[in-house]
Structure formats: structure tokens, C-alpha cells
Amino acid sequence: MSPPEQAQEQSTAPALAVRGLRKAFGQIKAVDGVSFTVGRGEIVGLLGPNGAGKTTTINIVLGVLEPSAGTVAIEGMDLASARTEALERTNFSAPNVPLPGNLTVAQNLRVFALLYGVRGARARIEELLREFDLERYRDAKCGVLSSGEQARAGMAKALLNRPRLLLLDEPTASLDPSVARDVREKIVALVRGTGTGMLWTSHNMHEVEQVCDRVLFLSHGRILLEGNPRTLPAEHGRSSLEDLFVAVAREPLSLEPGQAA
């Protein structure tokens, strides 16, 4: 493929394309043939009970784990063959992966700005400190911040490089309802305004219904269900997304395609 053809393919490719992904740990199949896409400007919820394969999938997309089989492409760039270029377009935030506690908020953002090669880093950091109401904490060490403040700092770090693919793992789990609402609104505005693709994991089904354009339910390492979070429950005889989540956790076989709901 010529460079112009490659550039054209990358410009029209989805933010994320996962094909035939598999990951085994010994005899345990953590991810078993998963395929999905995240479009540009789309928020996709990756849902499922603990042990369903969500974290393994995310770690493979982030390049932390190597798949046993399958491919991951970020804006058309294959993660295996163009790792640096693909990951430059990616970022993530997760409350269980806090920023280094011995550095201040500003120091953390400066370090990660260097790691991501952010141009105009000083102005970008100031912008994000304002955006997430962190100006008063710029010189506070992250280790002494409340869980909610740490979560906001983590979101600021996740947006430093203006990612084209953003992975959020329970991004509002530590936030009070008013702050969580503000963060959700900022995230949705970001996606709609920039065309960033987003993969969102959460156990808060009310939040998922509000934010996500599409959801994928994982069970035992496979995608069991996929669809609009506002209509999918009724399609499977459930009254709410939470009821559907419980059904997937308790009775996944009854919800497989071709089976009765």
C-alpha cells in the first residue's frame, strides 16, 4: 500500500478496531475471540461481571498485555507493528491506577506531558487544571488528595495528549453525584466536539444509559450482547439495563443469540 493510500485508510478507520482477540493464561481463556469497533465520536460501554474479560481486553488495547491471537488497530494503525504511533493516540484513566502520590498534581502533569510529547505543555496543563477545578491543588501531592480529587487529576492526565482513543475504567466511581455529572458532561462534550472514540467500563448502569451510544456485554471472555443501552433490555425481556446486567452475570447461556430470553 502506498503512503497516500495508507493515509487515506487511516483517516477513515474507526478509533479502535479489535479483531479475533484471544488471551489465555494457561488453560484459562480470559478473552475468547472478541471483535468490535469504536467509531470516531462514539462512546462504547464495555460491560460485564467481574472476571468477564474487560480488564484483560483493555490491557491488550493499551499494549500492557500481548494477545495470544488477534489484532488491535487504533485509527488504522496496527498495535503490533506500529506500537509507538498507535499508543501516541491513546490514553486512559482508572481510579485503581492513581498518579504517583509523591508528586504534586502539577508535577505529575508535567511528567506525563513529557512522556506523551505534548506540545505547548505548560498552556495545556493550565487549561486542564481549570477544566477539572484543580488549580487550588496544583502544589498538593497526589497521595494526600481525596479519592474524588485523585480521580479528577487522573482525568486531566488522560486528556493531556488530546487522545483519539480514550479508555475510561469506572471514571466517576469516586466522585460525588454533582462532580460526577460535571465530569460526564465534559467527557461527552469532548467526544462530540473532537471525534475522539471512547471505551467506557462501569458498573453504574444509570450512567451507562446516559453516556454510551452502544454497549457490549462480555461474559466468560466473549461478547454476549451488543446494542443501544436504552433499547437493548427490552429486546431481551428485561425492564432495565441493570436487570440485563444481572441476567448476564447469573444466566449468560439463556441470553446467547438464538436462545430464549
Inter-residue contact 42 to 213 (CB < 8 Å): yes
Q: Up-side HSE of residue 23: CA atoms within 13 Å toward CB?
A: 25
Asked whether residue 76 falls in the same domain as residue 103, the answer is no
Residues 99, 77, single domain; the answer is no
Per-residue tens of pLDDT for the chain, all 261 residues? 544 445 445 568 999 999 999 999 999 999 999 999 999 999 999 999 988 999 999 999 999 999 999 999 999 999 999 999 999 999 999 888 889 999 999 999 999 999 999 999 999 999 999 999 999 999 999 999 998 899 899 999 999 999 999 999 988 887 888 888 888 888 899 889 999 999 999 999 999 999 999 999 999 999 999 999 999 999 999 999 999 999 888 876 556 554 544
Q: Is residue 59 part of a domain?
A: yes
The pLDDT of residue 7 is 47
241 and 179 part of one domain: yes
Q: Give the domain CATH number at 240.
A: 3.40.50.300
Q: Is residue 179 part of a domain?
A: yes
Query: Do residues 202 and 105 share a domain?
Result: no
Same domain, 76 and 174: yes
Domain boundary among 162, 192, 212: 162
State which of 128, 143, 162 marks the end of a domain.
162
Last residue of a domain, which of 109, 128, 162? 162
18 domain residue, yes or no: yes
Identify whether 146 is part of a domain. yes
Instruction: Examine the domain organization and report whether 114 and 134 are in the same domain.
Output: yes
Contact status, residue 60 vs residue 53, Cβ threshold 8 Å: no
Q: Are 80 and 66 found together in one domain? A: yes
Q: Is residue 261 part of a domain?
A: no
Are 38 and 115 found together in one domain? no
Please indicate, yes or no, whether residues 112 and 209 belong to a single structural domain of this protein.
no
In a domain, 74, yes or no: yes
The number of domains in the chain is: 2
What type of residue is 60? I
Per-residue burial over 18-34, b if 16 or more Cβ lie within 10 Å, else e, is: beebbbeeeeebbbbeb
Q: Is residue 219 part of a domain?
A: yes
65 — phi, psi (to 5°)? -115, 150
Q: What pTM, to 2 d.p., does this model score? A: 0.88
Domain match, 197 and 77 both = yes
**Is there a single domain that holds both residue 201 and residue 232?**
yes
Collapse the DSSP code of 91 into the 3-class scheme (helix H, G, I; strand E, B; otherwise coil) and give the result: strand
Q: Does 181 share its domain with 213?
A: yes
Residue-range definition of the domain harbouring residue 121 = 91-162
Task: Give the per-residue pLDDT at 153.
Answer: 94
Asked, for residue 260, whether it belongs to a domain, the answer is no
